[in-house]
Amino acid sequence: MAAGAGIVLIDTGAHVPGSLLQLERALDHAGSTLEDVQLVACTHAHADHWGQAGPICNRAGCELWMHPNHSHAVEALSDPEGAVARRLEVARQSGVSEAVLRRYAGQIREPPSGVAELIEPDRDLVAGVEIATDLGTWTVYETPGHAPSHVCLFQPERRLLLSGDHLLGRISLYYDYGWTPDPVGEFGNSLDVVDRLGARLCLAGHGRPFVDVRRHLEGNRALVRERLAAVAAALSEKPRTAVEMVPEVYREPLTPVNAAWLLTQTLCYLRHLELAGTVTRVPGSPAHRWRRA
């Protein structure tokens, strides 16, 4: 976004070979250069949104603004061994077999992080912080759920929403597991936060902009309700592990490709239902089971 003599960059894309050059080409199409960037503001600390913040801020000599609850991303970079061990333990407790865990461990040992370097925000992007641009002033709204560090930006005169991954054109639910007490509940509250803004046009972090913001909010709420009901229903007959529930809840088999994604979500729904008193965790070794309360 243009801002005086320079630009404000919202989110950076992941850091992969050639990605900075791609960004420079895109900026060139818009008549700008990397050196014109006056500020990098990231909607959240997932690699595809802040991965290039380091090199961009270095080149442009500008600040990074991001929400301080970014330990979900920072820890994976500063302590990769610990992060892998934690993921394996979560998978083990979910009921993933030892044979599969061994294969999985080999695959995630050296993951490309998509983050160029660990860079701390110069300023915390928390509720009420404002970013001035030629389109007007944008206000920060904290919207945790998808990630603990997630924020949306709203421009009230134009009723424009920069939604990051909180609200996408295609409804796709994802929550970071294990960093906050109840990611699903937090996501629901964040949908209400955005609903109250009355946005007219949503510019999402992926895909095309869309105008029917309220319908998208409702679609997200409906899918969350549906998933919660499916998780509770999957426990109606007997206690089960998260792995045992997945095929029924999502109506698809658990595969190496979808396992981390679907298990993480399922654990977040179980956590939400546990806090609501609907389900109870039955600790076990190696896997925990869940039953109706």
Binding region for Zn ion (CB under 5 A): 46, 48, 165, 205
Place of tokens 């050059």: 21
In this structure, what are the phi and psi dihedrals at residue 58, rounded to the nearest 5 degrees? -65, -50
- Cβ at position 150, least distance to Zn ion in Å: 7
- Cβ at position 10, least distance to Zn ion in Å: 12
- Cβ at position 264, least distance to Zn ion in Å: 12
| DSSP string for residues in 182-244 | -HHHHHHHHHHHHHHHT-SEEEESSS--BS-HHHHHHHHHHHHHHHHHHHHHTTSSS-B-HHH
Rounded Cα distance, 293 and 280, in Å: 5
- Cβ at position 165, least distance to Zn ion in Å: 4
- Cβ at position 14, least distance to Zn ion in Å: 9
Place of tokens 């906050």: 180
Q: Which is nearer to Zn ion, 54 or 145 (CB)?
A: 145
Find out whether 190 and 150 touch, Cβ atoms under 8 Å. yes
Q: Which is nearer to Zn ion, 48 or 182 (CB)?
A: 48
Give me the residue whose beta carbon is nearest to Zn ion.
Answer: 46
**Strand, coil or helix: what is 29?**
helix
Q: Which is nearer to Zn ion, 11 or 244 (CB)?
A: 11
Find out whether 154 and 199 touch, Cβ atoms under 8 Å. yes
Q: Which is nearer to Zn ion, 95 or 144 (CB)?
A: 144
Residue 210 β-bridge partners:
202
- Cβ at position 44, least distance to Zn ion in Å: 6
- Cβ at position 254, least distance to Zn ion in Å: 22
Q: Which is nearer to Zn ion, 174 or 250 (CB)?
A: 174
Q: Which is nearer to Zn ion, 50 or 290 (CB)?
A: 50
Amino acid occupying residue 145: G
| DSSP string for residues in 61-106 | T-EEEE-S--HHHHHHHH-HHHHHHHHHHHHHHHT--HHHHHHHHH
Q: Which is nearer to Zn ion, 95 or 205 (CB)?
A: 205
Place of tokens 């895909």: 207
